[in-house]
Amino acid sequence: KAGVTQTPRYLIKTRGQQVTLSCSPISGHRSVSWYQQTPGQGLQFLFEYFSETQRNKGNFPGRFSGRQFSNSRSEMNVSTLELGDSALYLCASSLQGSYNEQFFGPGTRLTVL
């Protein structure tokens, strides 16, 4: 069974730009969660989508948004990029939700210059 895939793997953007990251979950998994990982803050929960609906949201500004499609693939968008948005963005899929075990993708490394 194929694992979680994320594209692109690396991105370099400048302040003020916007970016869209993509995540394809494990086949059959309906829940996709997004996390931001930085050396100082560790893994921080952004949001969770289940069956095309946002089910949970972390404490991030509205510049961070996401969506999920009918095939469970998910996208995350960050608008008006700031230097502090430089991080590894990880998505994780699970069968039913974040109370189940989650499986992580390889991540997208975003650098904001």
Region from 15-23, 61-69, 77-85, 93-101 binding another protein, contact rule CB under 8 A = 93-101
Nearer to another protein, 72 or 102 (CB): 102
Distance CA 41, CA 65 (A): 20
Nearer to another protein, 70 or 99 (CB): 99
Distance CA 88, CA 11 (A): 10
Per-residue binder mask for another protein (CB under 8 A), 21-60, x = binder: ------------x-x-----xxxxx--x------xx-x--
User: Residue 49 region, left (φ>0) first, then alpha (ψ -120 to 50), else beta?
Assistant: beta
Distance CA 52, CA 68 (A): 5
As measured in angstroms, the least distance from the Cβ of 50 to another protein is: 11
- The values of phi and psi at residue 83, to 5°, are -55, -35
Binding status of residue 104 toward another protein by CB under 8 A? yes
Binding status of residue 2 toward another protein by CB under 8 A? no
As measured in angstroms, the least distance from the Cβ of 96 to another protein is: 11
Q: Which two tokens stand for residue 104?
A: 């992580």
Residues 97, 102, 107, 110, CA torsion sign: positive
Residue ranges binding another protein (CB under 8 A): 33, 35, 41-45, 48, 55-56, 58, 90, 97-107
